[in-house]
Amino acid sequence: MSRSEFYNTIRPMFGGAMSQKQVDGTEALLAATDGLPITYRAYLMATAKHETASTMMPISEYGRGKGKPNYEKADKALGLNGALLKDFNLAMQPTIAAQILVRGCCEGWFTGKKLSDYLPDYVQARRVVNGLDKAALIAGYARSFEAAFVAASDHKLDAPPLSPKPVDASKAPQIVINPTEPRHPTPSLFGSVLALLIDWIKNLLKGNRNVG
């Protein structure tokens, strides 16, 4: 994925520029959503943008989920071995908060509804977090993020250019034209190959005569 193309596409949603913290939060979400379908990634990015007031960094409500049951689910799902239950502030770390958002929305932690129940309907997908509150607004963000993922996937400039492998002239097949045959100043490849085939057949016939 082309990071430059992705950020060029989403930057207008953030007023034309993004701070380092916004980029850091976005990168945490990109990592947490890696491997998911584009519609899932786009909607999760859109939800994060809305719930964090465009900071893309955890805030109390976004990072911590809704109540102790979600802490318990998150702690177990993320393999934190009780650390989250001892210190709820761990949910304020971008990488952990991103994983809580992704697992919570995909597995129905928050409302009992999962993204798979609604996507690709971006409006109805809001039900996995909070009914239809601001559903149309967040759906618009999701469509913009989807466009960014598509553009980043199609863009190839970040990939290193492919260089052709050098050809060893000493190993190239040599085409020999019978000097007794009439030659054109610029023989075609097909004509050269045909001449080579004729010479090979002649030599084969001579060999058969000698054997006989």
67 pLDDT exceeds 90?
no
| Percentage with pLDDT > 70 across the chain | 68
pLDDT tens by residue, 21-59: 999 999 999 999 999 999 999 999 999 999 999 999 988
Q: What is the pTM of this model?
A: 0.69
pLDDT tens by residue, 87-131: 888 889 999 999 999 999 999 988 999 999 999 999 999 999 999
63 pLDDT exceeds 50?
no
156 pLDDT exceeds 80?
no
Q: What is the pLDDT of residue 210?
A: 53
Q: What is the pLDDT of residue 159?
A: 37
* Residue 133, CA distances (Å) to 12, 94, 103, 139 in order: 23, 24, 21, 11
| Percentage with pLDDT > 90 across the chain | 56
String of DSSP letters for 125-154: GGHHHHTTTTHHHHHHHHHHHHHHHHHHHH
Q: What is the pLDDT of residue 131?
A: 93
Structure tokens at 33: 């959503």
